Amino acid sequence: MSVNALYDYKFEAKDKVENFHGMQLLYVYWPDHLMFCAPFALLVQPDMTFGALVDEILKPATASHPDSAKADFLKAQWLLNDEPFTPNAEASLADNGIDHKSMLTVTTPDLKGMAGVGY
Amino acid sequence: MAVQNKKLNLKDKYQYLTRDMGWEPTYQKKKDIFPDEDFEGIKITDWSQWEDPFRLTMDSYWKYQAEKEKKLYAIFDAFAQNNGHQNISDARYVNALKLFLTGVSPLEHAAFQGYAKTGRQFSGAGARVACQMQAIDELRHSQTQQHAMSHYNKHFNGLHDAAHMHDRVWFLSVPKSFFDDARTAGPFEFLTAISFSFEYVLTNLLFVPFMSGAAYNGDMATVTFGFSAQSDEARHMTLGLEVIKFILEQHEDNVPIVQRWIDKWFWRGFRLLSLVSMMMDYMLPNKVMSWSEAWEVYYEQNGGALFKDLERYGIRPPKYQDVANDAKHHLSHQLWTTFYQYSQATNFHTWIPEKEEMDWMSEKYPDTFDKYYRPRYEHLAKEAAAGRRFYNNTLPQLCQVCQVPTLFTEMGAPTKLSHRQLKYEGERYHFCSEACCEIFEHEPEKYIQAWLPVHQIYQGNCEGADVETVVQKYYHINIGEDNFEYLGSPDHKRWLSIKGVKPADEDKNAA
């Protein structure tokens, strides 16, 4: 489908990667931990390693959850844009195939949040 | 010879002042005068079939509104002189006004602009006059709401820069983008969106909670505004129904177009009202009714009857109403815990509900509150007591369409986010739900332009790279005054001093 307009309606996407000054957007969702109400929206360098993403960004972002200290994210189950994905901790995000506005879903099977209801 | 009666009767006057304002152009093409009337595909075969829902002429309109205005401002004056703010139930209530003033009053102004623009686009004089009247009503509502609440600005924080905040603050992009979406549509979609889907189908869910909430919590100024606007709202609702029936009766080709607009705008309105759901259940110290009860009465029952009535035109209920009906058990709780964790970036305070309030919620939400949401507050209370009041320090993903954080859960699976994503022209887009994703798919060219507050911060367009700078400099939220937890806030302290409570008693009052 296409917008119904009075003229040739064509505009640039507002969030193209060029607008982020060399950085890119990345979303990370940790299911069963709804203390964080929505997936995180992160601004990341495409050449940072996956290991650095986990240690320097994801760990601090989740630190206030009791499960965070116990979570071994690198050994957890990952999805990249809803497809199964095995991250390489040494490789960059770009080399892991993580492009602008990608979403990572990380499931920690032994850690299911608080109160048995994924909080 | 009989002297002709110079005074026109009401019917003639109405005719002269409305329909006779329309004429057939002779030296310009009609198409050039009303260029926006056709492009949406709506076919109007006979504008004279338009039934004016209210036979009101400008002179009687002015007279009637002026009388209401006089009474209204007399009460505002009395409220201010008697320090009416001291008689409200609790200062936490004022946070509902902060949400209203920044989230809703600017929409009244946007509606004024929308109706003024839309009215110009119809070749039918009846529709033009109806839009003109509603435009003036909406302007009046925007002004009187600001006057009703201005007294609170002298005594409480967070009310000082509503129009500025509406254009910039992250969660206010939800109401702002809703109306921008409607105003940038064609004239018939605008009327379906605002007059029908919003004013007729959903407005009771906005208006009744706020105005009854004001009454239950001792806010005479806002209640009086409500009464003053009530007769206008009744006219707007009548117009909403007339609009939809008129369009549907004009041509059968209009039915599928209108159906898609109803599907879209029901959902857009429902997402917008999620802000009202938390206001009702959490921000009113004296509760009126629960969100779930309000949804049952005003949508499931009233809306159910309406869509039954529209069946004869070939219209069915909105596509995703099942999801909305299921969400009534969860919505307010999911929203409040979201605002609780991002209170560092709001112009109002949040708090953990008191024990009696939680018991009220257990009663109102027997299947969900104790199971899913009470444990959240127990954990948050424990953290706060240990000096670790929870704030989420990472920005959330936002929905490309409704612009709410993607916090909503799947129907029947309340621990699983109903996130969707797709690729359009090589770019990835994310959504809170199937319904928002579908709205995008119909008009991707429109929504790829969305000004998403989180992405704008990351692009460096909001005067700073860290939340504190953005909140203070770009949003004009005064840090430590307007934002953060309610307990211990300047508003809270001021309220205790108004009530003559010594700091030693603070815990008892605040618990």
Closest residue of chain A to B184, computed from CA coordinates: A5
Domain count, chain A: 1
Confirm if B383 and B252 have CB atoms less than 8 A apart: no
Is A69 in the B-facing interface, judged by CB distances under 8 Å? no
Per-residue pLDDT of B141-169, as tens digits, reads 999 999 999 999 999 999 999 999 999 99
Q: Return the H-helix or E-strand segment holding A28.
A: strand A24-29
Residue at token pair 């009791």: A66
| CB < 8 Å from A in window 301-360 of B | 334, 337-338, 341
Please count the residue pairs, one from chain A and one from chain B, whose beta carbons lie less than 8 angstroms apart: 145
A101/B425 Cβ within 8 A: no
Closest residue of chain B to A61, computed from CA coordinates: B394
The answer as to whether B255 is a domain residue is yes
The answer as to whether A8 is a domain residue is no
- Is the pLDDT at B510 greater than 50, yes or no? no
Is B382 in the A-facing interface, judged by CB distances under 8 Å? no
Write out the two tokens for B390. 């929870």
Is A67 in the B-facing interface, judged by CB distances under 8 Å? no
The answer as to whether A112 is a domain residue is no
Indicate the SS3 state at residue B83.
coil
The answer as to whether A116 is a domain residue is no
Is B425 in the A-facing interface, judged by CB distances under 8 Å? yes
Between CA B152 and CA B456 the distance in angstroms is 32
Q: In sequence order, which residues have a C-beta less than 8 Å from that of residue B296 and are 6 or more positions away?
A: B328
Per-residue pLDDT of B470-498, as tens digits, reads 999 999 999 999 999 999 999 999 999 99
The answer as to whether A17 is a domain residue is no
A13/B379 Cβ within 8 A: no
The type of residue at B68 is K
CATH number for the domain that contains residue B325: 1.10.620.20
Q: pLDDT over 90 for what percent of chain B?
A: 84
Q: Return the H-helix or E-strand segment holding A102.
A: strand A102-107
- From B266, B268, B199, select the one nearest B446 (Cα to Cα): B268
Q: Which residues of A touch B444 (CB under 8 A)?
A: 1-3
Is B73 in the A-facing interface, judged by CB distances under 8 Å? no
Nearest chain A Cα distance for residue B8, angstroms = 43
| CB < 8 Å from B in window 3-62 of A | 3-6, 9-16, 19-21, 23, 25, 27, 29, 31-32, 34-43, 61
- From A58, A60, A62, select the one nearest A74 (Cα to Cα): A58
Residue at token pair 């709506």: B42
The answer as to whether A46 is a domain residue is yes
Q: In which band, very low, low, confident or very high, does the pLDDT at B65 lie, cut at 50, 70 and 90?
A: very high
Q: Is the dihedral of CA A76, A82, A86, A89 positive or negative?
A: negative
B405/A37 Cβ within 8 A: yes
B419/A103 Cβ within 8 A: yes
**DSSP character string of B443-485:** -HHHHTT---HHHHHHTT-SS-SSHHHIIIIIT---TTTTSSB
Phi-psi region of B175 (alpha: psi -120 to 50; beta: other; left: phi over 0): alpha
Closest residue of chain B to A33, computed from CA coordinates: B415
The answer as to whether B34 is a domain residue is no
Per-residue pLDDT of B11-33, as tens digits, reads 787 777 777 778 889 999 999 99
Q: Which residues of B touch A104 (CB under 8 A)?
A: none
The answer as to whether B389 is a domain residue is no
Between CA A107 and CA A71 the distance in angstroms is 10
A2/B36 Cβ within 8 A: no
Is B464 in the A-facing interface, judged by CB distances under 8 Å? no
Closest residue of chain B to A118, computed from CA coordinates: B415
Between CA B182 and CA B138 the distance in angstroms is 15
The answer as to whether B159 is a domain residue is yes
Nearest chain B Cα distance for residue A6, angstroms = 6
Closest residue of chain A to B448, computed from CA coordinates: A13
Nearest chain B Cα distance for residue A88, angstroms = 23
Go through B100-126 and write b for each residue having 16 or more CB atoms within 10 A of its CB, e for each that does not.
bbbbbbbbbbbbbebbbebbebbbbbb
Torsion angle (degrees, nearest 10) of CA A51, A33, B412, B364: -160
- Is the pLDDT at B335 greater than 90, yes or no? yes
- What is the Cα B494 distance to its own chain's centre? 29
Q: In which band, very low, low, confident or very high, does the pLDDT at B4 lie, cut at 50, 70 and 90?
A: low
Write out the two tokens for A113. 């949040």
Confirm if B187 and B37 have CB atoms less than 8 A apart: yes
Q: Name the residue range of residue A88's domain.
A: 22-107
Half-sphere exposure of B162 (CA within 13 A, CB side): 25
Is B466 in the A-facing interface, judged by CB distances under 8 Å? no
Least confident of B231-235, B240-244, B325-329, B339-343: B231-235
The answer as to whether B470 is a domain residue is no
What integer pLDDT is reported at residue B503 of this predicted model?
A: 60
Q: Show the beta-strand stretches assigned E in B310-434.
A: 409-410, 413-417, 420-424, 427-431
Q: In sequence order, which residues have a C-beta less than 8 Å from that of residue B274 and are 6 or more positions away?
A: B331, B335, B404
What integer pLDDT is reported at residue B20 of this predicted model?
A: 73
A21/B416 Cβ within 8 A: no
Q: Is the dihedral of CA B51, B54, B57, B58 positive or negative?
A: negative
Per-residue pLDDT of B179-223, as tens digits, reads 999 999 999 999 999 999 999 998 889 888 889 999 999 999 999
Per-residue pLDDT of B353-410, as tens digits, reads 999 999 999 999 999 999 999 999 999 999 999 999 999 999 999 999 999 999 999 9
The neighbour count for residue B360, using CB atoms within 10 Å, is: 16
- Which of B392, B416, B451 shows the shortest C-beta gap to A14? B451
Q: Is B51 exposed, middle or buried (0-12, 13-18, 19+ CB in 10 A)?
A: exposed
Helix, strand, coil percent values for chain B (each to nearest 5): 65, 5, 30
The answer as to whether A10 is a domain residue is no
Q: In which band, very low, low, confident or very high, does the pLDDT at B2 lie, cut at 50, 70 and 90?
A: low
Least confident of A100-104, B170-174, B230-234: B230-234
Domain count, chain B: 1
Q: Name the residue range of residue B206's domain.
A: 47-351
The answer as to whether B60 is a domain residue is yes
Is A86 in the B-facing interface, judged by CB distances under 8 Å? no
**pTM (whole model) above 0.90:** yes
Q: Which residues of B touch A24 (CB under 8 A)?
A: none
Is B186 in the A-facing interface, judged by CB distances under 8 Å? yes
Indicate the SS3 state at residue B396.
strand
Q: In sequence order, which residues have a C-beta less than 8 Å from that of residue B261 and are 6 or more positions away?
A: B189, B192, B193, B197
Per-residue pLDDT of B300-326, as tens digits, reads 999 999 999 999 999 999 999 999 999
CATH number for the domain that contains residue A35: 3.10.20.560
Q: Is the dihedral of CA B95, B99, B100, B105 positive or negative?
A: positive
Nearest chain B Cα distance for residue A62, angstroms = 9
- From B226, B327, B206, select the one nearest B272 (Cα to Cα): B206
The answer as to whether A27 is a domain residue is yes
Average pLDDT, chain B: 94
What distances in angstroms separate CA A27 from CA A99, B142, B148, B387, B420, one per listed residue? 11, 38, 42, 29, 13
Q: In sequence order, which residues have a C-beta less than 8 Å from that of residue B207 and are 6 or more positions away?
A: B226, B229, B233
The neighbour count for residue B29, using CB atoms within 10 Å, is: 9
Nearest chain B Cα distance for residue A66, angstroms = 10
Please, which residues bridge with residue A105 across strands? A29, A79
- Which of A6, A101, A118 shows the shortest C-beta gap to B428? A101
Nearest chain A Cα distance for residue B454, angstroms = 8
Q: In which band, very low, low, confident or very high, does the pLDDT at B91 lie, cut at 50, 70 and 90?
A: very high
Q: In sequence order, which residues have a C-beta less than 8 Å from that of residue B352 and are 6 or more positions away?
A: B340, B377, B380, B381, B384
Between CA A83 and CA A73 the distance in angstroms is 17
- Which of A64, A100, A115 shows the shortest C-beta gap to B390? A64
Indicate the SS3 state at residue A44.
strand
| ipTM value for the complex | 0.98
Per-residue pLDDT of A9-66, as tens digits, reads 999 999 999 999 999 999 999 999 999 999 999 999 999 999 999 999 999 999 999 9
- Is the pLDDT at B511 greater than 50, yes or no? no
Between CA B346 and CA B214 the distance in angstroms is 21
